Structure 1
Amino acid sequence: MTLRPATPADLPPILLLTAPALENYTLATFTHPFRHLHPASFTAHASLSPTKKLLHPGTNGYNLVTTKDGIITSWAFWRHPQPTDNTTKEPQKEDEKEEESPLLYPSLSPARLSLTTSHTTLTKSTIKEPHTYLSALFVHPSHKRNHLGSLQTLWGLFHSAKKNLPVYLLASAEGELLYRSLGFKVIAEQSFPSIHEMPEEDLRREIEILGKEVVESQFSDLAKPKLMRWEGTVDDEIFQDPEVMAKILSVSPSDF
């Protein structure tokens, strides 16, 4: 198994890797309540974020993949946010508004997406210090329990520790156990929109399509992601495995 930087040529297999995970990802399924009616729309919209991260990572982003026999088995996106990332939100650009249009992506509820984005921004605004952020981590379903998620995370932790930077992430219910095992601690729980925050017209439309019971359960049965923080040193016990460290040290970018 190999750990290496991702390249734009890796986009197709990365999209194939992320698609199965997003089918059951709490945030994605909440913002796409009509995904069962428009599965192709859901898949297309779900590809927007990985595509942007890989093709336009910016000066503070870093993409990393693991491969086995030339096949990509996991993908992670790390970044060093600028201070403005945590305190302000830039005005949405016209092309981004178009990307979220229900006409282009009928599986999406723009009202839910807007509310969720607002709640996520409030949670992340608690981070006031220079830090590293694990923005995405996906492991192929056929390669889970092979410690790929741990390796991808340990890579970022080690290089962050070298710079004395804490690490933050927003953990799903599925990922929280892994991050706890590596020393992350929960510092906040992400709030989620209440059904009472939905604009009346949007709520009425969703109830007409999905039924009142389904809509209410989608708002009430959410597993809330946790904002987690890690702060350690390169001498921590999690960095003592020689085989793991050989892989981590094989990818040591100067720009991370």
Structure 2
Amino acid sequence: MTAMLDVSDLRAWYGQAQALRGLGFRLAEGGVTALLGANGAGKTTVLRAICNMVRTAGTIAFEGRPLTGLSTASIVRLGIAHVPQGRGTFTTMTVEENLQLGAISRSDRRGIISDTERMYSHFPVLRERRRQQAGTLSGGEQQMLAVARALMLRPRLLLLDEPSFGLAPLVVRDVFGILGKINREDKVTILVVEQNAQLALELAEAAYVIETGRIVMSGSAADIANNEDVRKSYLGY
């Protein structure tokens, strides 16, 4: 498959502290890629770097277009949506208001109405809660809302940071099942940063393992899942 995102020699800093140290990877268009690693390895920084939310050097190209120097808002308009760790929903707004906010840069009213219904189809519980304030939702419902709001942008690439964080195992399974459906039916390319390596590798076709700001392993999700070092470090067997 064609590479949608091509990252080369990516470095990133928080002040004087360097978080990424020349890593590179490619995302296949229409695929799901998992980025695995321990806490503090640099996974979240990779997503922030793609969206120009941290100081970076190196090359990031989306569909052949360099992202260097573009504002975060401009990157979003190109078709890249980011669901940060902690979900980031607007807690005092209703579910439906959050969804409308996700489409704030769009002017196609009919398309927005259609996409809102599509989100309710993907996440039926959000239809039931559509008049409810986001802050009163459960953690799983808030995660679903965060993903749905990002999809209202009609992104071509969805960046997900720890979508399972703080969720009960059954809810995590539901969320990951929906993400797989979105990838298959809506053809959204997904890059998922995830501590639950087993679930991430079940969802993904390809995977990268990051340690101290560097890629140390890459391959198909199946090969990574069968690697003894990965099994011991991340899968627990």
Between the two structures, name the one with larger relative contact order (CA 8 Å, sep ≥ 6): 2
Normalising by structure 1, what TM-score? 0.27
Structure holding more strand per residue: 2
- TM-score with structure 2 length normalisation? 0.28
More helix by share: 1
